[in-house]
Structure 1
Amino acid sequence: MNLIRILKALGDGTRLSIVNLLRVETLCVCEIEAIIQSSQSNVSRHLGKLRDAGIIYSEKKSQWVYYGINMELVNQYSFIKTLLKEDLAKHPEYQEELAKLKIYREQNSGCQNAEDIGV
């Protein structure tokens, strides 16, 4: 994988938000959209850049596509592991999004009712 492409993909706040959420669990576009409060097209565009860089993978389940962290890449580049486990934890905005993810899960929300959660 091209290191420059990886660094460029990680050089955006929205993409860092997405990676921060995906380090916890796999999510579909509508779930990410609800948590980071962004449009479907914007989330999809950022997911595409992360996937093209090899940082995330996608997996189709029923009618939804779920995204997760490519752990092979994370293990290959230790700075990504440090970013995910240590550096993002120092920034309140990323911690707030993890709190929203927790609320989202406590409400047992899924793709079917992602727009109704109000997080």
Structure 2
Amino acid sequence: MLKTAIEMDRAAMILRLLGDKTRLTMVKILDSHDCCVCEFVEIFKVSQPSISQHLRKLKDVGLVKEERRGQWIFYSVNKSNEYYPFVSQILSQLPDQDDKLNELEKQGTRITCC
């Protein structure tokens, strides 16, 4: 097996994780933008605990990392994660999600926590 290949059970686990549309969209956004929970609350129109649960699942496998900035925590894709090459191939097939962040900026709700 090639060193860059991913085991079948690991691939299935990642695909199950990304099989949720909200998590898949979050990862696509986080691949190119750092975001905080409050931005995802605005984008998906769901509760903060729901967003935090999605992020926790992504963090548990190391796909997403967090960085504290003052009292706020920002999330981004962990591009050094062993699964990132696999996930990156999936993300490259998906439409850009910048419109969601642009809409937040137009509404003045981008990074409302800061």
Q: TM-score, normalised by structure 2?
A: 0.76
Q: Which residue of 1 aligns with 2:3?
A: none
Q: Report the RMSD for the aligned CA atoms in angstroms.
A: 2.5
Q: Deviations over 1:72-119 (max 9, x none)?
A: 127x5533111112x222xxxxx5x53121222354732338xxxxxx
Q: Alignment partner for residue 47 of structure 2, among 29, 32, 39?
A: 39
Q: Alignment partner for residue 33 of structure 2, among 13, 17, 25?
A: 25
Q: Which residue of 1 aligns with 2:78?
A: 70
5 Å matches for 1:1-119? 3=10, 4-73=12-81, 77-85=84-92, 87-89=93-95, 95=96, 97-106=97-106, 107=108, 109-112=110-113
Q: Would the aligned equivalents of 1:55 and 1:70 in 2 still touch at CA under 8 Å?
A: yes
3-state secondary structure, aligned to 2:50: helix
Structure with more helix by fraction? 1
CA distance in 2, matches of 1:109, 1:72: 27
3-state secondary structure, aligned to 1:71: coil
Q: Runs of at least 4 residues of structure 1 off by over 4 A? A: none
CA distance in 1, matches of 2:39, 2:84: 27
Question: Is the radius of gyration larger for structure 1 or structure 2?
Answer: 2
CA distance in 2, matches of 1:108, 1:32: 11
Q: Would the aligned equivalents of 1:5 and 1:53 in 2 still touch at CA under 8 Å?
A: no
Q: TM-score, normalised by structure 1?
A: 0.73
Amino acid at match of 1:10: L
Instruction: Quote the sequence identity (%).
Output: 34
Q: Which runs of 5+ in 2 are unaligned?
A: 1-8
Amino acid at match of 1:49: K
